[in-house]
Structure formats: structure tokens, C-alpha cells
Amino acid sequence: MALQALQSSGVAFRRILSHFPEELSLAFAYGSGVYRQVGPSADQKNAMLDFVFTVDDPVAWHSKNLKKNWNHYSFLKVLGPKIITTVQNDYGAGVYYNPFIMCDGRLIKYGVISTNILIDDLLNWNNLYIAGRLQKPVKIIAMNENIALRSALDKNLRSAVTTAFLMLPESFSEEDLFIEIAGLSYSDKSPEGQFTQLMTLPKTLQRQINHIMDPPGKNRDVEETLLQVAHDPDCGEVVRLGLSAIVRPSSMKQSTKGIFTAGMKKSVVYSSLKLHKMWKGWLRKTS
């Protein structure tokens, strides 16, 4: 039954994908509409399906999608695919979202991101918006033979392993690791070993750690700072602060951009649903 359900969902996802231009380097689905959530109130069947489409040429892709799915876009559609692509690439986390779309009988939300921007984020963690999502369970629906993208996807997971390990205590169980890195094991968290791991982290995370730890006027290089952090008992907390400095601004900017890309009405509805979901989660924890 489980295999049949997976096959059925795969067919449904591909049907939805057929409503969009085919030029995708990567397409994946995620969230509660794909994976069953914990809790009695979880309604997988009626949950909104979340997709991300990665495209090599956003202008060309949006141009074709506007012809096929004009009503998916907010008022920005009248400005044309070049302006939509500028908003997508230059503001927030490099993603353009169209939420609350009825497609093939299901309510969906889809984000569009440039292949080059995604690869850069996967390698360097510029904002960890989509790269962070790809460290969690996702359902890959389509992927072309882009070697650079495939390599970056692997590097992103390796970076997640390294970062998670740096933030874990000396002793930890398999359940303490992210589910996608379960089964891996490590030993001897020495300063030398931590320095080696810190030096393999994405560049943006290294720069954020350097910014946090570098005293005013000192202007130390990144390697010197990472060597200090490697000997610090609070190494994991410093890494956590660096991650927070990346994620928080990009999430806020992406949310602000949603007002323009989704439209005011959709943004208010989406925010209300998010708050309602958070409220129900809080009630479950306190009950």
C-alpha cells in the first residue's frame, strides 16, 4: 500500500508539472502535502502542495509561463517577464513564488529560482533559503543532467553534515543528526579536527562567523578567526549564530517580497494560515 501511495503521488506530481513550461533543471515538492506530518490534525490530502522549479533562463521561462498561466501572477505580470525575473533574482532569497494556485484539482504554491543562483547558494550558503530546504526531505520530480547542479546538491548535504556535527555535543545519538545524515558516525572532536571542518564550510557561513568573532579594528582574516573558534568550547554556538545571521535577513526579505509577487490579498491569507498553524502547534505543546 505504501509503494502504491508513493507511485500515485509521483503520477499526480508529474501531472501538475505538465501544466508548466518544460525547461526545468530541477523540480521538487516538499512540505505537509508530500510527507505526512505528526499530529491528529494533519490533513495531507487537503494540504497545499509546495513546489520549487529551477530554471536556467528565468526570463524565457516566465515568458512561456505567462502565456500558459497568466492568472497565476500578481499585478507584476503586466510589467513582463524581465521585471518579474529582476524581482526574482535581486530581492529576497532569489525565489519568485506564486501561491494559492488551483492546478489539476489541488491547491499548490510554486517558487521559481535561477539554476545559477541555486548552485551558488548550495555551495556558499548565501541565504540558505532553498539550500536549507534541500537539506530536508523533498520529493524530486524532475532533474536534468546538469553536472554542476548535481555536484552542488551533494556539497550542500556534506556541508550540512559538517555543520550539524560542529553544533552537536561531544556525545550524541543518531537521532540528534538530521534524518538525511542518519547513520554517519564521527569521533574525537579535537580543535584540529574542528578547524579542518570549519575550513570546509560554505564561504558565507565562514564570513558570518568571522564577523561575529572579529573584534572592532582587529580585521583578522577568516582563517585566523576559524582557528580561534576551533579552540573555543562554544564552537557549536558560534556556528549556530552564524547560521542565524544568514537565515533571518533572507527570510524577512523573502516574506516582504511576497507582498508584491503574490499580491496583498494572497499574502494576508497565507500569513494568517501560517499563524494559525503556529498557534495550533503551540496549543498541542502546552496541552
Can you state the angle between helices 147-167 and 235-261, rounded to 10 degrees?
Answer: 130
The one-letter amino acid code at 139 reads K
- For cell 543562483, name the residue: 117
- Checking phi first, is residue 187 left (phi over 0); if not, alpha (psi -120 to 50) or beta? beta
pLDDT tens digits for range 51-98 = 999 999 999 999 999 999 999 998 889 999 999 999 999 887 899 989
- Is pLDDT larger for residue 71 or for residue 191? 71
Helix (H) or strand (E) holding 110: strand 106-114
- Cβ pair 229, 167 in contact under 8 A: no
Query: Can you tell me the distance from the alpha carbon of 283 to that of 170, in angstroms, rounded to the nearest whole number?
Result: 34
Helix (H) or strand (E) holding 102: strand 95-103
The one-letter amino acid code at 146 reads N
- For cell 582557528, name the residue: 227
In which band, very low, low, confident or very high, does the pLDDT at 47 lie, cut at 50, 70 and 90? confident
- Cβ pair 197, 183 in contact under 8 A: no
- Cβ pair 42, 130 in contact under 8 A: no
What mean pLDDT comes out for the span 239-247? Answer: 86
Among the residue ranges 200-204, 214-218, 221-225, 235-239, the one predicted with the least confidence is: 214-218
* CATH number for the segment(s) 2-38+45-145: 3.30.460
Query: Can you tell me the distance from the alpha carbon of 95 to that of 98, in angstroms, rounded to the nearest whole number?
Result: 10
pLDDT tens digits for range 90-145 = 887 899 989 889 999 999 989 999 999 999 999 998 888 898 889 888 999 999 99
pLDDT tens digits for range 71-82 = 999 888 999 999
Instruction: Indicate yes or no: pTM above 0.85.
Output: no
The domain spans of the chain are: 2-38+45-145
Question: For residues 127, 238, 184 and 193, what is the CA-based torsion angle, rounded to 10 degrees?
Answer: 120
Provide the pairing of β-strand 26-30 with 95-103.
unpaired
The β-bridge partners of 126 are none
Query: Which parts of 74-190 fold into alpha helices (H)?
Result: 81-90, 115-124, 130-133, 147-167
